[in-house]
Amino acid sequence: MKIEKYILDIQDFLKKGILFKDITPLLNDPNGREECLKILLNSLNGQKIDKVIGAESRGFFFGMLLADRLNAGFVPVRKPNKLPFETISASYNLEYGTDSLEIHTDAIKKGDRVLIHDDVLATGGTAKALTELVTNLGGIIIQVNFLIELSFLNGRDKIKDNSIFAAITY
């Protein structure tokens, strides 16, 4: 089964000139969702994972599913001031300005084997921030994986020292 058939192209969303890759049809279809989950799991080649990091908010969807199947903990990484406990943060550049992500300081223990998951690898800013958070807490990044990679934006270059996998590449 090709999971690409579940990705819907939306022209001019979020702004004019952008071709947005909508994963909603994939989330809505149990067979497509299961096939995508198998692809993401198979990319790990049976490696042990202690924690799965999911980036707010679309990284939560498959991040939780992956954590469940891997019998691993799930760690939500969120925008500033959304987590109730002590946090550390990492900033990243946007097209116009910067943003940051936060993680609880007790979410990753030194030596934890971590899978980082997000929905899309575009310019790589979010992914780079995620890797910095895990590394700063002493985690070992086993893989950074994505549902979709937009390869023409070269985001992979920002996290090239890590094992990277995308279920679909455009």
| Residues recognised as catalytic | 58, 95
Closest CA to 155 of 127, 118, 124: 124
Burial class (CB in 10 A: 0-12, 13-18, 19+), 58: middle
**Cα–Cα distance for residue pair 146/164, rounded to 1 Å:** 8
CA dihedral 106, 107, 110, 113 (to 10 degrees): 170
In 3D space, the residue among 152, 156, 151, 153 whose CA is nearest the CA of residue 169 turns out to be 151
Residue 70, Cβ neighbours under 10 Å: how many?
18
Q: What angle do CA 59, 144, 147 make, to 5 degrees?
A: 50
> Which residue from 115, 121, 119, 128 is spatially nearest to 149, judged by alpha carbons?
121
